[in-house]
Structure 1
Amino acid sequence: MAARILITTDYLHPGDTVDQLLREHGLEPVYSPSRGPRTLEERRRLFDGVSGVILASEPVTANMLASAGSLQVIARSGVGYDSIDLQAAAAQGIRVCNAPGTNHHSVAELTIGLIIMASRRLLEVTTAVRQGHWPREAGHELRGSILGIIGHGPSGRATASLGVALGMTVLVSTAHPDPADTAVQFTDLDTVIRRADYLSLHTRAGKSPGKLIDALRLQAMKPSAVLINTARGSLVDEQALAKALSDGTIAGAALDVLENEPLPVDSPLRGLDNLLITSHLAGQTAEARIRAGLAAARAVIDVLENREPAHPVDR
């Protein structure tokens, strides 16, 4: 009997390139797309009888893994893996992999797109035009402004390159500055936050319990600054951000990731005119999806065929 591979990534489908690759290696893909929170019973039974999982961004807890007797590998069809209990997986000998380097150009392009939307107030303008108005308010050029980037992984570097191409001064805070990258200025976190006109997050969640962007750091930003988060919803204190946007502590924000997705109906972020929210789609271009899906499938195949995967996050 062929080993069964569960696929929860909602853009992967029977008959696509990932499906074909798995079948060429004698594996049987089965599908349970992630389209929102599952019930407790659905989560408990999700991994029953499968040897590998190609996973969307939904959480994987110790309780879910406790009943996953045949599971050998979890492969994220993306970069982030904060939602997976790595300790519980390691305790059961389950390998965990991700797919870095597959969507960073997509993330960078959306980041710059959100910055342009905020700087030229495109959401307000297009909404007003649809309502029959004809607004002529001045926006701001990006050339000459300061782009602050926290994190210098693939998406941070790609965003920095686009910022430089647009004539922005790029300040970067990272634990691993690259002396060869002379197009940007590496500096400390507080300086980046204080000086940025556009502050963009491209880092993993830290091990400390607090949020990277909390009330104090929002207060340290320029009143004219815009916060952009295409990295992790857990990086930002959403209550503090809602207050900062309402009070005018900062001028605006654009979020592609949230603490809880989809956006809860009672979220304090709802109804704010100076906030853009997109539906966790920074890496979701057609090209990036193909690369990420194939990278996850290759990781599953490698583990099941007793080879070391290219991008393990568990070792």
Structure 2
Amino acid sequence: MAARILITTDYLQPGDTVDQLLRERGLEPVYSPFRGPRTLEERRSLFDGISGAILASEPVTADMLTGAASLRVIARSGVGYDSIDVQAAVEQGIRVCNAPGTNHHSVAELTIGLIIMAARRLAEVTSAVRQGRWPREAGHELRGSTLGIIGFGPSGRATASLGIALGMTVLVSTAHPDHESGAVHFTDLDTVIRQADYLSLHTRGGQGAGTLIDASRMQAMKPSAVLINTARGSLVDEAALATALSDGTIAGAALDVLESEPLPGGSPLRGLGNALITSHLAGQTVEARARAGLAAAHAVIDVLENREPAHPVDR
């Protein structure tokens, strides 16, 4: 009997290149797209009879893995893996992999797009035009402004390059500075937060890592600053952010990731004109999806064929 491979990533479908690759290796893809929270029963049975899994960013908890007797590998079709209880997987002998280097250009491009939208107030303008108005308020040029970046992995580097190309001064806070990165200026976290006109997050969250941008750090930002988060929803205190946006502590925010997705109906961020929110789209380009899906599939194949995967996060 062919080993069954669970696929929950909603853009991977029967007949695509990932499906074909798995079937060529004698594996049987099983599709259960993640489109929101599953019931308790669905969560408990998700990995029944499954040998490998290619997952979207849904939570994988210890209790879900307890009965996963045949599961040998979980591969994220993306970079983030803080939704997976990696320690529980390790204890069960389950390998955990991700797909770095597959979507950083997509993330960087959306990051800059969000910055431009905020600088030129494009969301408000287009909405007003649809309503029959013709607003002519002045926005801001990016050239000469300061782009603060927290984290200097692939997406942080790609965003820095685009910022430099636009004539921005780029300040970076990272534990791993690369002093050969041309016009990038490396400095401490507090300086980046204090001096940035646009503060963009590109660092990893993690289990127990806590909130990075809380009320006190928002107070340290310029009143004219905009916060951009395309990394992890857990990095930002959303209640504090709603307050900061409402009382003018900072000028705006552009969020592609949230603590809870989709954005809950009762979120204090709803209805704020200076909060631009997108639906976790940063890595969702045709090109990035193709690379990420294939990287996850190769990770599953490698583990099931007793080879070391290219990008393990469990060791």
**Same fold judged by TM-score > 0.5?**
yes
Aligned to 1:285: 285
Residue pair 2:171, 2:186 contacting (<8 A) in 1 also: yes
What amino acid is the match of 1:46? L
Superposed, 1:219-258 pairs within 5 Å as 219-258=219-258
Pair 1:208–1:187, CA change in 2 (3 A) = farther
Give the superposed CA RMSD: 0.7
Question: Tell me, what secondary structure is at the counterpart of 1:216?
Answer: helix
Match of 1:79 in 2: 79
CA distance in 2, matches of 1:194, 1:252: 15
Distance, in Å, in 1 between the alignment partners of 2:124 and 2:271 is: 13
| Cα distance in structure 2, aligned partners of 1:203 and 1:50 | 32
The 3-state SS of whatever aligns with 1:199 is strand
Structure 2 CA distance for aligned equivalents of residues 209 and 309 of structure 1? 26
Residues 103 and 283 in structure 2, CA contact (< 8 A), matched pair in contact too: yes
Amino acid paired to 2:124: E
1:40-69 residue CA offsets vs partner (Å, 9 max, x unmatched): 110000000000000000000000000101
Instruction: Say whether residues 1:39 and 2:25 are aligned partners.
Output: no
How many residue pairs match? The answer is 315
Q: Secondary structure of 2:107's match?
A: helix
Report 1:15-164 matches (<5 A): 15-164=15-164
Q: Distance in 2 between matches of 1:208 and 1:42?
A: 26
Is 2:275 the counterpart of 1:268?
no
Alignment-mate amino acid for residue 223 of structure 1: P
CA shift, 1:209, in A, is 5.1
Following TM superposition, the consecutive aligned residue runs of length 4 or more in structure 1 with deviations greater than 6 angstroms are none
The aligned residue for residue 300 of structure 2 is 300
Q: Single out whichever of 177-186 and 48-57 deviates more from structure 2.
A: 177-186
Structure 1: distance between partners of 2:206 and 2:78: 19
Partner SS state of residue 129, structure 2: helix
Gaps (5+ residues) in structure 1?
A: none
Identity %: 86
Cα separation, partners in 2 of 1:101 and 1:209, compared to 1, 3 Å: closer
Superposed CA deviations along residues 96-147 of structure 1, whole A, max 9, x for unmatched, are 0000000000000000000000000000100000000000000000000000
Report the CA distance between 1:180 and its aligned residue: 1.1
Are positions 1:215 and 2:215 aligned together?
Answer: yes
Deviations 1:64-104 (A, max 9, x none): 00010100000000000001001110001000000000000
1:210 deviation in Å? Answer: 3.3
1:2-13 alignment to 2 at 5 Å?
Answer: 2-13=2-13
- What SS class does the counterpart of residue 68 from structure 1 fall into? coil
Name structure 2 gaps, 5 residues minimum.
none
SS at match of 1:5: strand
Residue pairs, 1:172-183, within 5 angstroms = 172-183=172-183
The question of 1:193 aligning with 2:185 is answered no
Match of 2:158, SS?
Answer: helix
**Normalized against structure 1, the TM-score is what?**
0.99
